[in-house]
Chains A and B, each alone.
Chain A
Amino acid sequence: MSLPARSNALHFGVLALMVVLFFVLPPYYAGNLSRIMVLAIYAMGFNLLFGYTGLLSLGHAMFFAAGMYGFGLPMAHLGVPLVPAMFLGVLSAGLLASVIGFLALRTSGVAFMIVTLMFAQAIYLTILYFSTWTRGEEGFVIQQAERMVMGIDLTSANARFTTAFVLFAVTFLGLARLIASPFGRTLIAIRENEERTRMLGYDATRLKWQAIVVSGAVSGLAGAAYALLFGYVGATFATVQYSIFPLLWVLLGGAGTTIGPLIGVFFMFYLIDISSSYTNAYMLIAGLALVLLTVFAPQGIAGELRKRVATWLP
């Protein structure tokens, strides 16, 4: 098989596997799939910037939150219907990313990490400051009655899975396509050697800014989808913890691979889920597993696969 054919087979195979899992797994595990897929959208957005462009943001929670609040606030306070609200969520995150990207790209390396971290903290504090509307830490619930599209109740197990699956599939295939496009290849070139890319006539700063905007918008889509499917909008999702999660998922799953983010979310989700059923000190077990994986598979699960088994992995 040619390379594009192989990666198509892989991507459609992964999607088919998700559908099969939904039907064969017991209800609890099948239900988890929706959450995993939504978080994987977030991880994929982060991966575009970190794994493919080589920019480490420590503030991606601000884009997740922008999507969440950009979706939830207009619904709760202005009565905006669900579908336009979803677009507003993605748009808010994309706009925020374009401004933050413009400012943060004046720095690079460690300074870029600190600047994104600080901006995210500022956004978090802004959410708390406007608690009249955002209800701060406590957050607000999006009523079941509002979570309907064309008479379909999105809170039912099937509809929730379908919604998460469609959003996941679109993002997954869309980003895979983006990575294979000239734009994506140039982002990889920037990750590999920015100075060389610049001296081949590419406007590296502009390309990095575009990557931040796409990455932010995809993360915002995940935030909006999370609020939509689980009916809750809260400031917790804007905390540092939610900036670190995508980094862990992507590192575990394999940075700079298309399937890494999904694998990473799966792995972390069940690592915590299973270990917490045995002990209260589940974070200790999770931490240990993370350390072992970093030592023995520093490129993440899909990264190791690419190195040892399938060098063609996109």
Chain B
Amino acid sequence: MSIITAKNIHRRFGEGNLITHVLKGIDITVEKGEFLAIMGKSGAGKSTLMYQLSVLDEPSEGEVIIDGTDVVQLTERERTEFRLRTLGYVFQNYALVPDLSAEENVMIPLLMKDYNWQTAKQIAHAAIDGVGLAGKYKNLPAELSGGEQQRVSIARAIAGKPKILFADEPTANLDTVSGTQVIDLITKVNKEDNQTVVMVTHEREYAMGCDRIIHMKDGLVVDIEQLTTFGRGEH
């Protein structure tokens, strides 16, 4: 059962003679519970594709259906609400609010989702414990290493139990050990919680735990690599 269906996605930037055609008609489906990696060289359009799928950007053409909702038709405010309720994000640069402690960073989206303070705090603690940072609830991002910040970022992304977790090069700023820990964590979330994950990476070793890898080049999908039997009824 597909949770994301994207049809004929085009993304152009600029105007007139200066138009850059970054995505040139991409069709893609992501199955519920699937761990999908998008790979490609710089400029291939992998991040741009993820932004279209994750409702952070609007395609110039085409449609994106997520969990039955045509997200292209949503207003800005509805898109924000949709992202809050349905999607989780792990960004390349951790993207934590520097003034908030680890627990507060995780709590903010939960509070937006109408959880009361106490419940949000309990969920945040459980999520932080889950990424191996028990006891660091009160630490500010600046008091955590890059790997730890990214794990808090993962805790924030999954605490609200999103339907899809998007990770945009989550290991790009990390050393190998921390990068591996982060990938292991995302893989664990996918395998144990049946969390749908879409991850952009340009490091093949980090994509090896995925179910499927989409290879992109010049704004087109040039290859799809199936790594597991997911989606073939054997997962």
Instruction: Check if A and B associate.
Output: no
- B residues sitting closer than 8 Å to A (CB atoms) are none
- A residues sitting closer than 8 Å to B (CB atoms) are none
